[in-house]
Amino acid sequence: MPPTCEVSVVVPVVERPASLVALYREFSAPLREAGRAFEFVFIAYPWFRSLTDELRELVQAGEPVRVVEVSRAVGETALLKIAAAQATGRILVTLPAYLQTEPAALPALLARVDAGADLAVAWRWPRRDAWINRLQNRLLHMFVKPLSGGRIHDVACGVRAMRTDVMNEMPLYGEFSRFLPLIALREGFAVEEVTCAVHPAAMTSRVYGPGVYLRRLVDVLGLIFLLKFTDKPLRFFGLVGLLLAVVGSVVLAVVFVQRVAGQGLADRPILLLGVLFVVLGVQSVALGLIGEMIVHLTASQRQRYRLRADPRRPSRPEAA
Amino acid sequence: MPTDDGVSDAPRLSIVVPLFNEEENIPLLHAAVRDALTSEWSWELVLVDDGSSDHTVEIALEAAARDPRIRVVQLSRNYGQTLAMQAGFDQARGQVVVSMDGDLQNDPRDIPRLVAMLESGYDLVAGYRERRQDRLISRKIPSFVANRMIRAITGVDIRDNGCSLKAYRRETLRRMHLYSDMHRFLPALAAATAGARITEIPVRHHARRFGQSKYGLSRIFKLLADLITITMISWFRERPLVLFSIGASVALGLALGSLGMTLLGFGGLRHEMANAYVLPAATLLWILLACYLLTLGLISEVALRRARESDPELLPLATERVF
């Protein structure tokens, strides 16, 4: 077990990996300047060996760097959870494996956590990078920002600092680490934002393949369901089912009236459409009912609220 | 989670009050409770701050500093009335727990009567507002319709589900786990989960003195969805397969109906024989639905079984009859 330190910086190496040595040198400088005892934990898959190999020279030079390998592609959330379990620091900092913000963001984030925030996230503002990057960010936030009640302006920024317990207590899975600030808000943690500058290296245009955008869309849909309907699935499935069943019933009613008026039934393919809509509607409602049943039966297993840890702190974080 | 029963200095009566932006009302509430409860019962007042944005917390903590019988529970954000009540229930130490609103529309002078009624052999005593001091169109009429529906569907004979002033035995609350907006269906939930013996008595109701009323008219869909849920929990919690079998039977009936029409068509009784694919296809769809519902019913039985294994409190309360 390495000696304990104050700040553990966790870097999941998953996408857009750049030189990790350069990353370490840039981001360790302000920590050293602020006189904080720190460690860097790089967590990566074996197929990123070519990148993590560079770190050997740092380790051999006695820098506080650890490299952890996970042999299966488990996703960023799992990597963060594993790394948080390995971290020895009181404060956990997450960094993406590329230069996303200016390193000066770190001391500001740590100061907020010291002042009592559970989670402090970087907000890249003003955005000075390529227009295409800003457009993508804008589109994402069109869906995501209202979910936070307008309180989070930059969900996508991976530069975050938190108490280490926060990561351990957070019910995170799948790709939801992307939306960490939103989930932390829902869990009742005090989340604060710190504006910081975009790193010059991150200003070049980034365009991804269609698969990536499709995955993001699925993630956002999953997030909406998670935040709004996990405790009341029938409100979602019931609404969908009700709409479908109403459309189907209208079709069937029209066909039925025409049948009574003398028109045949069997040569009306639209009858099938009506039946199909009713069937889908009933299926959706039934799924919602199952969901409600499971929520009800497991209601005793989870405490759904969080009490304020320090009763003297004001209930609202001061407007940043 | 409920605090330990064995605490020696635990009061007999806990009054749980969820507060959301009620800074003006706290001193008045405290005074009213103090005046209403005389010496015979030891009591505590559990004030639950539901993430208020005004000075509710500060004022509550001040009151608690002056009167040790006040306890303040602070939620870390605004979770809504249901979870605020659950948090208060979890912190309450008394054998009898009374819930009430923090807006002074309920009158603490009714608490001794509620408690006396509870002691006479009930697990939950609900108050109903006899002369309700609220607006007719936006509050009273929707509430009347909703209560009628809840009463008819759940079979729990309570005429005012919306009145927060209720008294519970601790054991009843231990079997109830609130989430979503379940605070509106507490008696039905108590009957379904704890098998509670429930009654109601009339209570006083005052017009709001301070602050804003926190409900509106625009909640019909949510209320309906919750009503369906509570109905299902009331009738089918112990046998979900029955619920889904009913649906499956209806679908199967429709399948047989369209099958019959298909056969009639094939029999040459109708001119529809030429295009006889629509009705058989409809038959298949209905059969599909029936199978789907049966499968879901089986899944719900699995969920029930798993929950039973881990949670013995799913069984209702049992009380020995005293003659």
Neighbouring residues of A98: CB distance < 8 A, sequence distance ≥ 6: A16, A17, A18, A23, A201, A202
Q: Is B167 helix (H, G, I), strand (E, B) or coil?
A: strand
At residue B218, the pLDDT reads 52
Q: Do A292 and B299 touch (CB under 8 A)?
A: no
**Please, which residues 286-305 of chain A have a Cβ atom closer than 8 Å to chain B?**
286-290, 292-301, 303-305
At residue B275, the pLDDT reads 57
At residue B276, the pLDDT reads 63
Tell me the shortest Cα–Cα distance from A144 to chain B, in angstroms. Answer: 19
The answer to whether residue B11 scores a pLDDT higher than 50 is yes
At residue A316, the pLDDT reads 42
CA distance B19 to B47: 7
Q: Do A307 and B304 touch (CB under 8 A)?
A: no
How many Cβ pairs closer than 8 A exist between chain A and B? Answer: 159
Which DSSP letter does residue A188 get?
A: T
The answer to whether residue B213 scores a pLDDT higher than 80 is no
Q: Which residue on chain B is closest to A230 by alpha carbon? A: B180
Q: Count the Cβ atoms, other than its own, within 10 Å of residue B276.
A: 17
At residue A202, the pLDDT reads 87
User: Which of chain B's residues have a Cβ under 8 Å away from the Cβ of A290?
Assistant: 296, 299-300, 303
Query: In chain A, what is the straight-line distance between the N-terminal and C-terminal CA atoms, in Å?
Result: 38
Q: Which of B49, B84, B281 sits opposite A315 (nearest CB)?
A: B49
Q: Using a CB–CB cutoff of 8 Å, tell me whether A282 touches chain B.
A: yes
Q: Whole-prediction pTM value?
A: 0.86
Q: Do A314 and B57 touch (CB under 8 A)?
A: yes
Polymer length of chain B: 323
CA distance B227 to A109: 46
**Please, which residues 245-274 of chain A have a Cβ atom closer than 8 Å to chain B?**
264-269, 271-272
Residues A68 and A2 sit within 8 Å (Cβ to Cβ): no
Tell me the shortest Cα–Cα distance from A267 to chain B, in angstroms. Answer: 5
Q: Which residue on chain A is closest to B273 by alpha carbon? A: A266
Tell me the shortest Cα–Cα distance from B52 to chain A, in angstroms. Answer: 7
Which DSSP letter does residue A198 get?
A: B
Alpha helices in A261-299 (DSSP H): 270-297
CA distance B281 to B283: 5
Residues B13 and B168 sit within 8 Å (Cβ to Cβ): no
The answer to whether residue B246 scores a pLDDT higher than 60 is yes
A123-137 residue pLDDT tens:
998 888 889 989 999
At residue A315, the pLDDT reads 42
Lowest mean pLDDT among A271-275, B204-208, B308-312: B308-312
Closest by CA position to A186, among listed A219, A220, A221, A148: A148
At residue A19, the pLDDT reads 86
Tell me the shortest Cα–Cα distance from A245 to chain B, in angstroms. Answer: 13
The answer to whether residue A73 scores a pLDDT higher than 50 is yes
Q: Is A136 helix (H, G, I), strand (E, B) or coil?
A: helix
Q: Higher pLDDT residue, B265 or A53?
A: A53
Q: Which of A234, A269, A288 sits opposite B278 (nearest CB)?
A: A269
The answer to whether residue A33 scores a pLDDT higher than 80 is yes
The answer to whether residue B278 scores a pLDDT higher than 60 is yes
The answer to whether residue B86 scores a pLDDT higher than 70 is yes
pLDDT band with cut points at 50, 70 and 90 for residue B210: low
At residue B1, the pLDDT reads 42
Q: Which two tokens stand for residue B103?
A: 């807006």
Average pLDDT of chain B, as a whole number: 86
Tell me the shortest Cα–Cα distance from B252 to chain A, in angstroms. Answer: 12
The answer to whether residue B39 scores a pLDDT higher than 80 is no
Q: Do A301 and B311 touch (CB under 8 A)?
A: yes
Lowest mean pLDDT among A1-15, A269-283, B66-80: A1-15
Q: Using a CB–CB cutoff of 8 Å, tell me whether A227 touches chain B.
A: no
At residue A109, the pLDDT reads 96
Q: Using a CB–CB cutoff of 8 Å, tell me whether A243 touches chain B.
A: no
Q: Do B1 and A266 touch (CB under 8 A)?
A: no
Q: Higher pLDDT residue, A302 or A123?
A: A123
**Torsion angle defined by CA atoms of residues B77, B78, B83 and B89, in that order, rounded to the nearest 10 degrees:** 70
Closest by CA position to B97, among listed B48, B33, B9, B169: B169
Q: Which of A267, A295, A307 sits opposite B179 (nearest CB)?
A: A295
Q: Do A289 and B232 touch (CB under 8 A)?
A: yes
pLDDT band with cut points at 50, 70 and 90 for residue B211: low
Calculate what percentage of chain A has a pLDDT beyond 90: 60
Phi and psi for B13 in degrees, rounded to 5? Answer: -125, 130
The answer to whether residue B160 scores a pLDDT higher than 80 is yes
DSSP E strand stretches across chain A: 7-13, 38-44, 65-69, 91-94, 119-124, 160-163, 191-196
Tell me the shortest Cα–Cα distance from B303 to chain A, in angstroms. Answer: 6
Q: Which two tokens stand for residue A102?
A: 């200016």
CA distance B288 to B294: 10
Residue carrying structure tokens 């602070």: B74
Closest by CA position to A9, among listed A83, A77, A100: A83
At residue B130, the pLDDT reads 84
Tell me the shortest Cα–Cα distance from B215 to chain A, in angstroms. Answer: 19
Residues A140 and A216 sit within 8 Å (Cβ to Cβ): yes
C-alpha radius of gyration, chain B, whole number:
25
Sign of CA dihedral B7, B11, B16, B22: negative
Q: Using a CB–CB cutoff of 8 Å, tell me whether A314 touches chain B.
A: yes
Q: Do A298 and B251 touch (CB under 8 A)?
A: no
Mutation for A interface: B48, B74, B283, most A CBs within 10 A: B74
At residue A107, the pLDDT reads 95
Q: Do B232 and A293 touch (CB under 8 A)?
A: yes
Q: Which two tokens stand for residue A170?
A: 């957070």
User: Which of chain B's residues have a Cβ under 8 Å away from the Cβ of A283?
Assistant: 289, 292-293
Mutation for A interface: B21, B179, B223, B249, most A CBs within 10 A: B179
At residue A320, the pLDDT reads 33
pLDDT band with cut points at 50, 70 and 90 for residue B119: very high
At residue A313, the pLDDT reads 47
Q: Do B270 and A264 touch (CB under 8 A)?
A: yes
Neighbouring residues of A163: CB distance < 8 A, sequence distance ≥ 6: A90, A91, A92, A113, A118, A119
At residue B274, the pLDDT reads 47
Tell me the shortest Cα–Cα distance from A15 to chain B, in angstroms. Answer: 34
Q: Which residue on chain A is closest to B298 by alpha carbon? A: A290
Average pLDDT of chain A, as a whole number: 89
Q: Using a CB–CB cutoff of 8 Å, tell me whether A210 touches chain B.
A: no
User: Which of chain A's residues have a Cβ under 8 Å away from the Cβ of B79?
Assistant: 188, 304-305
Q: Do B299 and A290 touch (CB under 8 A)?
A: yes
Residues A39 and A5 sit within 8 Å (Cβ to Cβ): yes
